């Protein structure tokens, strides 16, 4: 029998270049807020989008790399701090030197078609390093580019857009605003529909600072300058898990009707947290935490202007013992997830800035902490440079610290939630076994709950 040849991915890259703002921009130094410059955000965050070929006559001969490069130079006029470089002041205080050096851009061509990547394109991507080349010496936080973009053209006429952004400069919401601006310029706009606003002074510590709330998501000891918390060095495995209407309805059926005063996100977050905790086989008496990224632009504590594009998030946490989390009904975990989200208010935000200053920018807790970032409402899957919406648009991978929840549409058109996980191999194997219990257990008809699939997912 003839053996099918395995596709060998190959990408030919042009020389990396720095894209600068199209027009002169202010030369100044801007301090980051006391929330933005914390140690736990000093990293690069990956996003990837896959676009099909579009046979529209209006796109004939148009090159996505050239279009995005031109749009990028226009967008940086308005987001000019992103073209600068971070530097540290006294006490490691971060500030951005708006020197206009530019963001890193790579134009590339691949040897494969989009359809050769599989029936359904979703993380993890074994070829990430091909479509997002790490330029030697550019991957740091201080004195390095703050944004990286690689446009890889495919042989079918489609393309892949891969991006990395410095998390101290942007959170997910801010990045989504920047990406929307990039699309607007690519499609012919002369200015952003929403003008970006800096104003990071809103999120600085009070004078004098005072901790008025409990911040369980952080290490409560002052950080030693030479020794911070480190991520586990054990080899990690990346996987993603799909939760569609069938799986989510099974979870809803696991909770008594009288207790269903929560969202699908809270339900799914609670379930994944419990499965992950069980997979690590922790001591029953160990205290574990659930943290979720909460947007400070919420309607109940709208202290940031609409165009604000710095870091405007907090990660409030709830605590419990392993035994209580794993042995109690699912509703117990759901209530803890709700309690974490409900901690967020204006006083919590002020206390957070004060806490980070007083405690010397402590790291997020890693051991026994489960942090979820829900990116399903950021709109990456709606980005359209003119070629149509992406086949997949969202995070490229999770990290040992952060799990992502994002939207995903299957090939048959079914919409669901994709959970991106990163764990050591043994816990990952046990985690997968826990998840199988969803489909092997209760899978009653959705309509017995008087709730349609679309409504289940719209509550996310």
CB 406 within 8 A of CB 418: yes
Q: Which two tokens stand for residue 256?
A: 């008594």
* Choice among 167, 215, 216, 238 that is catalytic: 167
Secondary structure of the chain in HEC code, one letter for each residue: CCCCCCCCCCEEECCCEEECCCCCCCCCEEECCCCCCCHHHCCEEEEEEEECCCCCHHHCCCCHHHHHHHHHHHHHHHCHHHHCEEEECHHHCEEEECCCCCEEEEEEEECCCHHHHCCCCCCCCCCHHHHCCCCCCCCCCCCCCCEEEEEEECCCCCEEEEEEEECCCCCHHHHHHHHHHHHHHHCCCCCCCCCCECCHHHHCCCCCCCCCCCCCCECCCCCECCECCCCCCCCCEEEEEEECHHHHHHHHCCCCHHHCCCCHHHHHHHHHHHHHHHHCCCCCCCEEEEEECEECCCCCCCCCCCCECCCCEECCEEEEEHHHHHHCCHHHHHHHHHHHHHCCCHHHHHHHHHHHHHCCCCCECCCCEEEEEECCCCCHHHCCCCCCCCCEEEECCCCCCEEEEEEEECCCCCEEEEEEEEECHHHHHHHHHHHHHHHHCCCCCHHHHCCCHHHHHHCC
Chain centroid to CA 44: 10
- Are 19 and 76 contacting, i.e. CB atoms less than 8 angstroms apart? yes
Q: Phi-psi region for residue 128, left (φ > 0), alpha (ψ -120 to 50) or beta?
A: alpha
Our answer to whether residue 215 is catalytic in this structure is: no
Catalytic-role residue among 254, 324, 384, 415: 384
Strands 294-295 and 313-314, by their bridges, are: antiparallel
**Which phi and psi angles does 393 have, rounded to 5°?**
-145, 120
Verify whether residue 167 is a known catalytic residue. yes
Residues known to be catalytic: 167, 384
């Amino acid at each position: 029998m003839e053996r099918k040849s395995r596709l060998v991915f190959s990408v030919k890259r042009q020389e990396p270049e720095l894209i600068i703002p199209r027009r002169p921009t202010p030369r100044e130094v801007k301090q980051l807020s006391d929330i933005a410059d914390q140690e736990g955000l000093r990293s690069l965050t990956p996003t990837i989008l896959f676009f099909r070929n579009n046979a529209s006559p209006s796109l004939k001969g148009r090159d996505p790399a050239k279009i995005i490069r031109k749009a990028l130079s226009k967008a940086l006029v308005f987001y000019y701090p992103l073209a600068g470089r971070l530097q540290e002041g006294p006490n490691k205080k971060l500030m951005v030197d708006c020197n206009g050096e530019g963001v890193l851009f790579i134009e590339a061509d691949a040897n494969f078609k989009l359809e050769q990547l599989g029936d359904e394109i979703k993380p993890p991507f074994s070829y990430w390093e091909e479509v997002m080349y790490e330029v030697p010496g550019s991957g740091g936080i201080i004195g390095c580019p703050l944004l990286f973009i690689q446009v890889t053209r495919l042989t079918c006429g489609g393309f892949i857009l891969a991006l990395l952004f410095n998390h101290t400069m942007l959170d997910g919401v801010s990045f989504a605003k920047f990406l929307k601006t990039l699309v607007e310029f690519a499609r012919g706009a002369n200015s952003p529909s929403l003008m970006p606003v800096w104003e990071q002074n809103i999120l600085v510590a009070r004078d004098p600072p005072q901790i008025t709330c409990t911040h369980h998501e952080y290490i409560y000891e002052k950080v030693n300058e030479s020794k911070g918390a480190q991520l586990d060095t054990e080899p990690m495995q990346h996987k993603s898990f799909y939760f569609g209407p069938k799986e989510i309805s099974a979870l809803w059926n696991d909770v008594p009707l009288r207790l269903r005063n929560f969202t699908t996100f809270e339900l799914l977050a609670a379930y994944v947290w419990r499965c992950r905790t069980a997979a690590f086989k922790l001591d029953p008496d160990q205290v574990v935490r659930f943290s979720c990224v909460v947007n400070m632009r919420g309607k109940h504590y709208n202290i940031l202007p609409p165009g604000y594009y710095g870091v405007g998030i907090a990660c409030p946490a709830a605590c419990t013992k392993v035994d209580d989390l794993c042995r109690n009904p699912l509703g117990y975990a759901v209530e803890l997830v709700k309690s974490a989200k409900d901690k967020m208010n204006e006083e919590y935000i002020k206390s957070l800035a004060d806490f980070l200053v007083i405690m010397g920018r402590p790291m997020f807790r890693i051991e026994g902490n489960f942090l979820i970032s829900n990116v399903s409402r950021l709109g990456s899957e709606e980005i359209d440079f003119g070629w149509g919406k992406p086949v997949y648009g969202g995070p490229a991978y999770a990290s040992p610290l952060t799990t992502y929840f994002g939207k995903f549409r299957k090939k048959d058109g079914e919409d669901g939630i994709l959970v991106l996980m990163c764990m050591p191999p043994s816990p990952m194997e046990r985690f997968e076994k826990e998840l199988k219990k969803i489909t092997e257990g209760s899978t009653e008809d959705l309509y017995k709950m008087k709730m349609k699939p679309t409504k289940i997912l719209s509550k996310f």
